[in-house]
Amino acid sequence: MCGVTQNAAARCFGFAVGLLTFVAAHAIEVAKWAVWFGGAHAPWFLNSGRAVIFTLGCLFVVSLIAGILRWSGAALATGAATAMTAVLFFGEGSTIFPIVLAAGGLLIAATSLLGSWLGSEISRLSPHSQ
């Protein structure tokens, strides 16, 4: 019973952390759009190469930590993709939203799963692991 509870908690934490990480990265991008990211288009993480690197870098670092803590990388990616979808639909939107959702979702999933996997490998190889 305890294993099920810990697994569910790890998934909930992963989802929440992924969601909050994407929202925080997007908020920073909106605040610093003209200065840091060029500001040629509307603030969105796929509208600037620097914004893509910034958002995915944030997700990678957080997913690496999540992997070390043995939280679910898939749940983290799902939370970030959920936030991406909400920001897209409640923001200015896009005429090519299916392509944006697919491309953004693939980038988020690949980054989050890679970071989580590397974090779990670091944790597994650590001399202090259980």
How do residues 33-60 score in pLDDT, each as one tens digit? Answer: 989 888 788 888 888 889 999 999 999 9
The verdict on residue 130 lying in a domain is no
Q: Which domain holds residue 79?
A: 2-125
- pLDDT score for 1: 45
The verdict on residue 41 lying in a domain is yes
Q: What is the DSSP string of 40-54?
A: SS-S-TTS-HHHHHH
Nearest CA to 79 among 18, 23, 33? 18
Which residues, other chains included, contact 48 with Cβ-Cβ below 8 Å and sequence gap of 6+?
A: 37, 38, 40, 41
Indicate whether this model's pTM tops 0.85.
yes
Please state the domain count of the chain: 1
Q: Are 94 and 88 in contact (CB under 8 A)?
A: yes
- pLDDT score for 64: 96
The verdict on residue 114 lying in a domain is yes
Mean pLDDT of 11-26: 93
Could you give the CA distance from residue 120 to residue 50 in angstroms, rounded to a whole number? 28
